Structure 1
Amino acid sequence: MSEEEREKISGVFSSQAQAAVGTGTTSRKTIQKTYWFVEEREDGAVSVQPLNSNYVPSGPKQTIGREEFLDKYTPEPELYISTVYPKIQEMDSTVKRGEAHRRNHETYSAEYEFNHALDFDEQNVKANFGLGLTYLERGDTSKADDIFNRLVGIDAAFQPEHKHLFNEFGINLRKNGMLDQALEYYHKAEQLTQNDENLYLNIARAYFEKGDFKHCYRYLKKCLELNPDMEEAGLFWLYLKENGLIASDANDIPGFHPPENKKFKGVAKGPVKNFEIDF
């Protein structure tokens, strides 16, 4: 059977480890069993994520080689079918109901559904983002700050699959005046992602609103060095120069040609306040 024809490994598996219990003459050895949600990747490596006490995948994923996985892990198909799969389906449906309520600006119903999803898994990325965005929409910055503190501790929140929610949350932190939180959040992403001109642009934007033009200039320059043709960044650069916020001769970016005959709309900070970038 070819590699393409072979069925990928997936489902619930268990592993066992020996542990010592007690001390001295009362010491004895016991076997600890751990359950994992498993998915084989396209490159043949296997991703394993532990199940929490509610029998849903939660926490950081680990990656191991296929041969090592087959040697150390045992399939648990009955547990997957009877318990894990229904729990995952219920949690996902709850998150989707929360997202639908949030889109309709039904913030209290959205809050209820997202909190219910977090009862299954307090690290669920979509539920945390949804709840945080719900609080920000309602102007409840205290509760939003609690969610922010949870999200910055979840590395999975900064993975490419969550970029849309990540960006929306960061923009809303800034719009609600939570600039320090927005910057901490963006800098966490900076540690976990490759060079991203859009992320640099958002960081520059947050520093601008703090009045920190030195760091604003630094990140805007990093953005334009990666993508000299990004029009939004070029317009932002021109705005800073025309308002004396960076040196008038600061145009030493290879390949960068400032946009002509285009300006931000508005006055004072307005030109930048109405400026957003998705990535």
Structure 2
Amino acid sequence: MSDSELYPEILGVYSLQQETTVGVGGTQSFKHQVTYWYVRRLSEDVYEVQPLNAHHVPSGIRREHPELDFLRMYVPEPDYYRTHTVPALNSLNRKLKEGETLLDIGRLDDAERMFIKALMIDDLNVPANYGLGEVYSEKKDFRRLKRVIDTLLGLDQVFCKEQKSRFNRFGISLRKNGHYEESLRFYERALQVAEDDHLHFNVARVHYEKGAVDKCISHLQRALELNPDFSEAEKFLRYCGGSASVQRAG
């Protein structure tokens, strides 16, 4: 079995105990602080920790630690994980799943309520924000859509591999519903994180629908530079009257 099949591995909840100094001189005292963290093992010697929020679910900035540092600092809390975090995560996942089902069958108001319930458990939850954003895209509710996009663009996990399918779906929804500027803003932020041939292809489609054919051709050419075997990009480029900027081997 490969490392990609083994990791990430969910290890549960761990605590971090720290001593902080309060006051100065004769009034100085020490305060014992315990915080709880959701832990995943990313590879053989790298551990990822994420703080738990008030509802006992992981939320906020993730940090990575080498194995020795992690084992020295963090203590496993299996009872806490079983009693608090697992039920909270199950509740959150049920709401996300129901929201997705309602969205798929076009019950937008009900889907909106379900995603909002999920966000009441974790306001930084990426799938819930994606779902809510898609609801507002379908409703053409620009004001709320912009607010959700602002939230998504501020979250580190939005463009990670684990969210790729949700990210693609959301970007397509923005384009199909005519939210071209928001779609470009979203795709261009993704390109800053990691350049990708399909991202350039999607940006090209947005520019084409806006009537900006030159920009469309430029992104298609870049997609083919990254992946000369990208047949859809090659066909689209020919349709637009452009030519590939790279030569195929052989």
TM-score normalised per structure 1: 0.80
5+ residue gaps in structure 2? 1-8
8 Å contact kept, 1:98–1:130: yes
Cα distance, 1:172 vs structure 2: 1.4
8 Å contact kept, 1:18–1:30: yes
1:36 is paired with a residue whose SS is: strand
Deviates more, 1:123-132 or 1:215-224: 215-224
Deviates more, 1:172-181 or 1:116-125: 172-181
RMSD (Å) for aligned C-alpha atoms: 2.1
5+ residue gaps in structure 1? 1-7, 258-279
Cα distance, 1:120 vs structure 2: 0.6
Identity of aligned residues (%): 37
2:157 is paired with a residue whose SS is: helix
Higher share of residues assigned helix: 2
2-side partners of 1:176 and 1:9: how far apart? 38
Cα distance, 1:89 vs structure 2: 0.8
2-side partners of 1:9 and 1:137: how far apart? 35
Q: Does 1:202 align with 2:195?
A: no
Change beyond 3 A, Cα 1:252–1:102: closer
Post-superposition CA distance 1:256-278 (Å, at most 9, x none) = 99xxxxxxxxxxxxxxxxxxxxx
1:148 is paired with a residue whose SS is: helix
Q: Does 1:120 align with 2:121?
A: yes
2-side partners of 1:72 and 1:9: how far apart? 18
- For the pair shown, the structure with the greater C-alpha radius of gyration is 1
2-side partners of 1:221 and 1:27: how far apart? 65
1-side partners of 2:35 and 2:177: how far apart? 42
2-side partners of 1:204 and 1:23: how far apart? 61
Q: Does 1:132 align with 2:133?
A: yes
8 Å contact kept, 2:103–2:111: yes
Change beyond 3 A, Cα 1:252–1:197: closer
1:133 is paired with a residue whose SS is: helix
Q: 2:247 aligns with which of 247, 254, 259?
A: 254
Change beyond 3 A, Cα 1:173–1:75: same
Post-superposition CA distance 1:4-32 (Å, at most 9, x none) = xxxx7711111122333346764433222
Residues 144-223 of structure 1: pairs in structure 2 closer than 5 A: 144-193=145-194, 195-223=195-223
Cα distance, 1:69 vs structure 2: 1.0
* Matched AA of 2:232: E
2:36 is paired with a residue whose SS is: strand
2-side partners of 1:25 and 1:146: how far apart? 49
Tell me which residue corresponds to 1:86.
Answer: 87
Change beyond 3 A, Cα 1:69–1:255: same
2-side partners of 1:102 and 1:81: how far apart? 31
Higher share of residues assigned strand: 2
* Count of equivalent residues: 242
Deviates more, 1:18-27 or 1:139-148: 18-27
Tell me which residue corresponds to 2:237.
Answer: 237
* Matched AA of 2:246: I
TM-score normalised per structure 2: 0.88
Cα distance, 1:78 vs structure 2: 1.7
Change beyond 3 A, Cα 1:171–1:71: same
Cα distance, 1:199 vs structure 2: 0.7
Tell me which residue corresponds to 2:52.
Answer: 51
Tell me which residue corresponds to 2:5.
Answer: none
1-side partners of 2:218 and 2:17: how far apart? 51
* Matched AA of 2:168: N
2-side partners of 1:124 and 1:145: how far apart? 17
Post-superposition CA distance 1:124-180 (Å, at most 9, x none) = 111111111112222222212211111111121111121111011111112222222
* Matched AA of 1:200: H
